[in-house]
Structure 1
Amino acid sequence: MKKIVTLFVLVCIVFLVPTDWAAAGPKNFGYVDQQSNRTFVPIRFLSGYAGADVKWTSAEQRIDIMNEQKKVTLYVGKRAAYINDSPVVLEDVPFIDNGITYVPLRFVSEALGVQLQWNADIASVMVTYADRSTPLPVIKRGFGHHSSKPIVSERKTYRVAGRSFSVQQVTLSLMHSKIHLDVALAGNTIGKVENLNSIAKRNNAIVAINGTFFDAYTEADFKTPYGYIVSKGQMKRKSSGDRRTIFTYDKNNLAELIPGPGFNDRFALGTMEGGLQAGPRLLKDGKVALNVKEEGFKDPKILTGGGARSALGITRDHKLILLTTGGATIPQLAEIMKQAGAHQAMNLDGGASSGLYYNGKYLTTPGRQISNALIVKYQ
């Protein structure tokens, strides 16, 4: 449920001091300081998306933030600040931590006319200036580009209704600076098929999981994939009228599940970096949320049958869970994803397509070649 954040007293902006890491194009994300309960947002993000120019003067530890309305001046470690050269006193002093300089958002947002909207469903803040709105993921302070374990691979067992399910699970920290998502096509072409491990190796991916449904049983050379496919911001396949759930992400790896009917409007915003349509949706806001027929599914394998399954889930702290298991019905898979810690979750193609690759080998070996995959690069 979205809430308008009035002046967002508990939010602050973060400015990234130029470093080798920053020059490499780091993700923009905010974070919550767990001690002060304040949220921080990158000033570089506002510089790029909210019409602000930022100047850092290292000798004075001075930050100048300007747009066509006002100029804001702040100093690291000092409460003294200025708006258009008029002195003001800050409630929270700017500081530097891990090469990042932080400044209070309430002060800056009031001065620059930046509007904020909190989206609890995907733990993000919508930053709006003039007619441009861009979502910014928010994480806990101390987590992000310097996280020590950006990828965790585990074999786990979950019990659902008295039955045990063995799963292969890979969990990725999406805000880690070296984690990059992509959607890869077999043979780099719509309609081709290829081994999952071949897709991964050809794209220098450390993790890969099978993606959308496709026409696996045709004898024709062209194996039609079903659903929308977006890669590197480009539409690879359209699927107008498809009601199934779509996994999307932007350049900051802000991941989200959206309904099929809402795809065109979302894609038109120009912020979508990648997307895969599969479904059905398994979880919404941490609760099982199955509406299989409403999404347009008619196949008994989805409606009632059990079998090999692949799924993805998004946690509240911007982790991506990729999971495979065997013999599960869709309702059972939903419960598994809930126990795995997902807040939002979606089914992927399953059966013989189900496969999970990590660090040079299969964790789950597919029984056939596949049409496309969600891959993860570690760079």
Structure 2
Amino acid sequence: MKKIISLVLCLVMLVSCFSFSAFAQDEISIIINGKKLTMDQSPIIVEGRTLVPLRAIFEALGAKVEWDDLSKTATGIKDGNEIKIQINNAVAKVNGKDVTLDVPAQIVNSRTLVPVRFISESLGLKVDWDDATKTVIITGGKIITFDDVESLTAEKDFQAGGGTGAKNIALTTEKDHTTGNGKSVKVSNRTSTSHRVKFMGDYGINANVGDTLTISAYVLVDEDSTIRMGTYTATGGKYSTSAKARSEKDAKKGEWTYIELTFKNDNSATMIGFDQVNGSNVSKEMYIDDIKIEVGKAAEPILENEYNLPYDVKKIEGKRPTPIVTGGKTYDDLIFYERTFKDPSEIKTSQQLFDALPKNPEKIADNNVMLSATLTGKEYASFEKIVVDDATVPFKEGIRATVTKIPEQPYHAQLVLPSLKEGTYKTGDNMLAVFYLRTIKGENDSGMGRVQLIVEQEVSPNAKALKEDVTTVQGAPWKKVYLPFIAKEGYGRLCVRLGYNVQTVEFGGYEILNYKDTVKYEDLPSDTQMTDYDKRDIFTKDEQWRKEAWARIENIRRGDINVIVKDKNGNVIENADVKVNMYDHEFKFGAPVKTTADNSQNANAHITLFNTGVNESSMKWVYLIDDGGEKAQADIDFAKKNGQKYFRGHALVWDRDYALTYDKETDKWIYNTSTPETLVRATLKGDKAEIDRLIKEHVENTVGKFKDYIDEWDVANEIMQHNLIRKTYGNEVLKQWFTWAKQVDPKAKMYINENGIIGVGDYTKYDNFRRVLDEMVAMDVPFDGIGLQAHIDGWSSMESIYDKLSGLASYGKELKITEFDVNKSLHMEDEEAEASMLRDLLIICYSIQNMDGFVMWNYKETGATSRRDGPIFNADWTLKLSGEQFLDLVYNKWWTQEEGKTDANGAFTTKGYYGDYLITATANGKSKTVDVKHYKGNTDTIEIVLD
């Protein structure tokens, strides 16, 4: 009897085992390039290896299958690879070579099952295992190492793009990533970031429509810069110059850099191109190697990756990761830098310094020298002599220079003056250049004009005795400029570089004075910017305006948090532990999505620092025409996938002047991302009905397309500076544009976005902007917000900025800083002042009730050729001083982490900055966490029931 019972128990256990095993294995799925494999025999797991039906896997992978029943051997052949595998034999053959298997092939239910990983990898495919879903994921593609390639043929294997020639692209053995002894592709003689190579044919994309492709490669450059890989069309095609799908990556000089791009293929752009991001340091040589094209791979969320950033990061499952910052949280704990200032009574102006100089310097160049200038770069600029009827300046004739197109290098558009005469100066003489400048119109972000004065060698290499930038603000009066320099014999060539912006500037009163050794060099005046601001207030801790702002923050950005803890019967619990942990701000801190490549430092920085995303260009009109919104949607998806709460739309209507959209001489549209040719042609004809139709259609289509994703739109962008249509038809067009947008998405906030209001001594623009706002209010334009770009080009008093923001707040609309960045020259001049300025600007903005967000346009130092810099990171991803200020305020001082115990009423009360919180209560062995939106206006009492 015992034997029978034992036998029955054994059978039961055996059946149980089989049942469990069968159930587990029925759950196994095989996904090949995104498609589920259908099999007549379920996969099984043997000793940790997944076995699948032989014929099903071989045929799904595109291999030819042969079966030798006598030897029980299967042969699979694909792309020259041959695999032989025998039943119950742990040794297989791949291309004639023995390979030992962990588990041999075997027969189950009359079906031959083989190890799926061995088969797939032997055929050059990638195999992944998702344990959560019990899924084998197989992705296919190709790897191009170039090592076995004998030659590359232009227009067959590649195209040269961006202005470089095919002769500059070739195979080379100079650099090799694969083994160090093979080949790569070299692009030589690069003088522009846009000089690119585009691979095509056998070296391009050959995949099915609908496939998800991941392209990766290794790139080596000879300058620290940002590289770009993208998908292109041939010359003349829709995506011949602007990639449809793209990825960007910071690369270090002389190091192979991995870059990756994932997208859904539609075969509209099948060339793989490599170049650099505009504004980066130009690499004279670029090497490309190990291009890999995979089918079916999908990018992993950023939350799973290493951050590689100069601060610690806190991860909470399902939430946006945030920086971990510690330190004091009071006003007294703000970060300041020691700076000593002279008593104001001791400070002399440039004019006072000039007046104190000897009265008899030798004038070796005068205004007639400037009036005799010639222009180089007539395709970019023009100039004319003008009569100056202005009693405030000591000259009657001047020059007006107009730049209509920005050249690749500023010196490609410059005035060349007659050289200094030999014998009028010698090496070591103390010299002073004096002239007057004013900006009639500046088409850059801040409305400033910029020139550079040069005194240089007459011959190559044209070394400089003087090289100094001068900036003035559009609409401001004449600025008298003083530029001291020390003379060098042979350095007599005089130039004024113009090619920095599309702009109109005027000059006059030009002189070069030789003081020889009659003065000390340090006693000569130097004055290149339109400001008398000495930065004293941002270095002084006890400024009353800052203390008042800090007090306002405490009142308007923090609120009570009352936590009541009860048991399941409704009884309050005393001495329960309560933790109140903030994980995001209600206030919008943001920046443009620079890349959607997971695990890049750009992506990690963007996600950890900001809760708000914005498209830099991909929602602009022409960009949307070019790619159908694919890049914009990819940016949105990336931001939302990684926990960013808000997304801004930029920009619906940018009413740009002809100088940026139309070449009158050739009657051709100038490519730009914001104004399509159809609108330019309608504007040229004066066809108001067609203008309205085009803009209305664009606004409705764009707002409608992204309606589910966008929280706010920049409806009208830079209307004070770019106003071709508005100037012709009046401010009524603003009401049309805002009404069309609001009708499509009533929930989204509609912004007017303007530059040059803060950050420079803008003179008339602020008042003129307010006049437009007054008229918009009078016309009942449905706008919800006022965006201020804040491209900082000069030092400004913080009190003056607060006064302007307060004035704009009087309209009762939301306010937002929308494009903050800093002129690189300010960072180079005074990093401590840059950091102090950001600290105080953040404090001022956060202290204004109407202010809804602070969005940066860059957050990292850009390439040497760019004038604009972000405030957070240096080029090597170390923190700037201003980055430390940002982290200290946003993720320390304005960040709430509190804990304590409930009182006899079951209550724990604290104050917290408005934002998103996880609040946890623990008592009597039970714990519960609730997700709370502690937003201004919401209820401040949270009840937690421990049941």
Q: TM-score, normalised by structure 1?
A: 0.33
Q: Which has the higher helix share?
A: 2
Asked which structure has the greater CA Rg, the reply is 2
Q: Which has the higher strand share?
A: 1
Q: TM-score, normalised by structure 2?
A: 0.16
Larger relative CO (CA 8 A, sep 6+): 1 or 2? 1
